[in-house]
């Protein structure tokens, strides 16, 4: 569903933020993207979403090259960034209606899904408020609701659990599973290893821009008796 072929990203022609990265994320799987701070996770996700252009390499979204046909490619996914930096001066409902219009969600469908999603996350009653007045967690819930709203094939989330309360975290995890069980794909980055361990089908670990491990949770764990946290520590220290 997401095929990354030898992508690299250099800044100022010198600093290599991502170095010859290859990944193939399949339909129906939850793919966890791990790595220490500054490893290149956000840069990679930004390249996948078309925010940043890779210096070299190709990214295929559902078989479409995001460089050659960005519109078609972007129509397949929604994205939640690591910082909820969105246009803050509009109301929550303005934001969701805006997304619904961009992704062609009918009025009936959007009403049903907005009420359902925001009701589950507990922000339905706050949709009439200006986003500026939301807490960090509320903004995150709004962005997540917006990502699920068009029912895209792929949802890309950069640190989606930061700022969420335990109840919302659980709702998000179950929604992610439900989305993949229905044929969707999730790519998300996180530092919360115990969560990654419990919900991911496959995990990729990145360090200094290079992918140092990429396998199913079962395969990774079969190589060692340790927890994912221990494996992560071992890999990121030795690689």
Binding site for another protein (CB under 8 A): 46, 49-53, 70-72, 74-75, 77-79, 81, 83, 85-91, 93, 97-103, 106-107, 110-111, 114, 124-130, 133
Selection from 61, 134, 146 nearest residue 98 by Cα = 146
User: To the nearest whole angstrom, how small is the minimum distance from the Cβ of residue 159 to another protein?
Assistant: 15
Q: How far is the CB of 107 from another protein (least distance, A)?
A: 5
In the complex with another protein, the residue whose CB is nearer, 4 or 195, is 4
* Burial of 20: CB neighbours in 10 Å, binned 0-12, 13-18, 19+: middle
Q: How far is the CB of 62 from another protein (least distance, A)?
A: 12
* 79 burial type by CB count under 10 A (0-12 exposed, 13-18 middle, 19+ buried): buried
Q: Residue 119 or 183: which CB sits closer to another protein?
A: 119
CB of 101 or CB of 230, closer to another protein: 101
Nearer CB in complex with another protein: 103/173: 103
- Cα-based angle 188, 40, 99 (whole degrees, multiple of 5): 45
HSE, CB side, 13 Å, CA atoms: give it for residue 57.
24
Instruction: Decide: helix, strand or coil at residue 201.
Output: coil
Percent helix, strand and coil across the chain, each to the nearest 5? 40, 25, 35
Choose between 31 and 134: whose C-beta lies nearer to another protein: 134
CB of 142 to another protein, least distance (A): 12
Q: How far is the CB of 49 from another protein (least distance, A)?
A: 5
């Amino acid at each position: 569903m997401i095929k990354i072929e030898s992508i690299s990203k250099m800044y100022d022609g010198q600093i290599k933020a991502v170095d010859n990265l290859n990944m193939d994320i399949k339909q129906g799987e939850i793919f966890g993207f791990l790595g220490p701070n500054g490893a290149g996770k956000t840069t990679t996700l930004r390249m996948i979403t078309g925010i940043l252009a890779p210096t070299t390499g190709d990214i295929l979204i559902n078989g479409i090259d995001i460089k050659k046909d960005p519109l078609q490619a972007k129509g397949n996914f929604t994205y939640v960034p690591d910082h909820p930096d969105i246009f803050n001066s509009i109301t929550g409902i303005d934001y969701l209606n805006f997304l619904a219009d961009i992704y062609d969600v009918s009025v009936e469908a959007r009403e049903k899904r907005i009420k359902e999603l925001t009701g589950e996350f507990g922000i339905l009653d706050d949709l009439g408020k200006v986003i500026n007045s939301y807490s960090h967690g509320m903004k995150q819930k709004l962005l997540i609701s917006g990502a699920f709203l068009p029912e895209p094939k792929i949802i890309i989330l950069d640190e989606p659990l930061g700022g969420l309360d335990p109840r919302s975290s659980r709702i998000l995890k179950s929604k992610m599973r439900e989305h993949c069980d229905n044929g969707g794909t999730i790519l998300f980055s996180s530092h919360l290893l115990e969560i990654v361990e419990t919900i991911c089908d496959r995990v990729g670990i990145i360090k200094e821009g290079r992918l140092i491990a990429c396998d199913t949770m079962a395969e990774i764990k079969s190589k060692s008796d340790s927890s994912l946290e221990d494996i992560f520590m071992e890999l990121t220290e030795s690689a």
